[in-house]
Amino acid sequence: MRAHILTITLNPTVDFSTATANVVPELKLRCAEPQIDPGGGGINVARAIRLLGGQAVALIAIGGSTGAQLLQRLAHEGVATVAFQGPGETRQSISVIDEGTQAQYRFVMPGPQWHEDDVRRGLNSIDQATGDDTLVVLSGSQPPGVAKDFPSILADHVGDRGARLIVDTSGPALRHLVEKPHASLHLLRMDDAEAEDLAGRSLPSVEDTDAFCRDLISRGVARSIIVARGADGSVLSTSEGSWHSVGAPVEVRSKVGAGDSFVGAYTLGLAEDRDPGECLRFAVAAASNAVMTDATRLCDRETTDRLMRDCTLRKL
């Protein structure tokens, strides 16, 4: 199966979301009936795209009974998948809301250890699913054992097939992409803390963030860079120009899924041939929509379109 939008999740999860009266040590904490959702960066990007009216194929490494449960839940949601055998058992994660304080506690498991054969199997599956002009999205954490240069290796595979690669990653993999630029990377997204860490200085203003992004572009890190600045919106920098968009004022219920909704909407905007500024505003609106929802719920097209009217956009 070849896809126009292909999302990649090497370290998927089944997410359990619940609540308890108070989170305290040592005692047994009686929890509410959990909400169970498919999880992992690329999976949530594909789910968001479907909820926004688009279609994406989620390529997933799965293992064991948890992996089978994950595929069943995605099929129930109508998300197309391409699965390949990963090592071990697909992981599970849990988030718990303390009803007394409304604080959310998120417990994230590492996932199974990968080896070279697992990486080769994954790349072969990606090659088979990628065609000319496919938008390939790599999002989420890398599994233990996957080298930090995996996004660069993936960029070679994607570039050889005339596809465009969008990467939303963190940690050593992000630093490697910045320190050893790759010409085939179409878009790189990060948050403001990651940007400041890479810059080695604070980036207090939108203009500071744009200057940092433009420096990365001039060094050939990616054709476009997005930095999420939290409540101060997001900055998009390209060789053609830069934009800043701030989300609509909404009540924040949960930040889970906001970044994935952003990436999903931006990617769908590219697939719909929107101009860069409108892709950014669409993405910011989807993220605003996501934070209004409980637990691991994402966004929807009707609410996102409505919120777009209240999202600011200016060219820098």
Active site residue ranges: 260
CA-to-CA distance for 87 and 118, rounded, in angstroms? 7
- List Cβ neighbours of 280 (8 Å cut-off, separation of 6 or more): 226, 234, 236, 243, 245, 266, 313
CA-to-CA distance for 122 and 199, rounded, in angstroms? 32
Helix (H, G, I), strand (E, B) or coil at 94: strand
Q: How many residues does the chain have?
A: 316
- Amino acid type, 164: R
The two tokens of residue 50 are 């479907």
CA-to-CA distance for 286 and 264, rounded, in angstroms? 8
Q: Which residue has the tokens 């929107």?
A: 274
Under a CB-based contact definition with an 8 Å cutoff, are residues 291 and 275 in contact?
Answer: no
The two tokens of residue 115 are 């080896």
The two tokens of residue 109 are 């498991």
DSSP label at 31? Answer: B
Helices (H), 150-243: 150-160, 171-179, 192-199, 206-218
Q: Which of 35, 144, 170 is nearest to 91 (CA)?
A: 144
- List Cβ neighbours of 16 (8 Å cut-off, separation of 6 or more): 34, 35, 36, 92, 93, 94, 95
Helix then strand then coil, % of the chain, to nearest 5: 40, 25, 35
